[in-house]
Amino acid sequence: MTMREVTDEEFDLLIQRALAELPDEYIKNLDNVAITYADDPSEEQLVRNHVRHDQLLLGLYEGLPQTSRFSSGYSGVLPDKITIFKNPIRYVTHDDESFFEQIKRTAWHEIAHHYGLGHDRIHVIERHKAR
Ligand SMILES: [Zn+2]
């Protein structure tokens, strides 16, 4: 199985399309968060997030969740950052449709972290959403 080739421009467009397909209220309540992409996570990102060598990081949320901002003296100077990783998503998907769906799932997952949800809660919701 060969991995699909995707240019940065195509990947960026797919992310924009994925975000456009997420529920309006989910997107419109984003607050000071940049959504970007990279080919792969950096070694530093892998280490800091305790990603094992047999695991793939498809996306990453870095920042201060909305639910923690009130009590922490949040300055808002730096935006939260969500990065969607192109190569790991290429690796785990096998066609255009699954590639796009995984971008959408990954964006949804990382945005949930921005809203302050932890993995327990996220996995419950993902199970309910699963088709
Ligand atoms: Zn997560």
Residue 91 CA to ligand 1 centre (angstroms): 18
* Domain extent at residue 82: 8-129
Residue 119 CA to ligand 1 centre (angstroms): 6
**In a domain? residue 81:** yes
Is-contact 62 33, C-beta < 8 A?
Answer: no
* pLDDT beneath 50: ranges in the chain: none
Residue 73 CA to ligand 1 centre (angstroms): 24
The letter for the amino acid at 84 is I
- Residue 89 belongs to domain with CATH number: 3.30.2010.20
Residue 30: predicted pLDDT: 97
Residue 115 CA to ligand 1 centre (angstroms): 12
Residue 114: predicted pLDDT: 98
pTM, two decimals, is: 0.92
**In a domain? residue 3:** no
Residue 111 CA to ligand 1 centre (angstroms): 9
Between CA 69 and CA 13, with CA 38 as vertex, the angle to 5 degrees is: 95
Q: Residue length, the chain? A: 131
SS3 label, residue 73: coil
- What's the domain count of the chain? 1
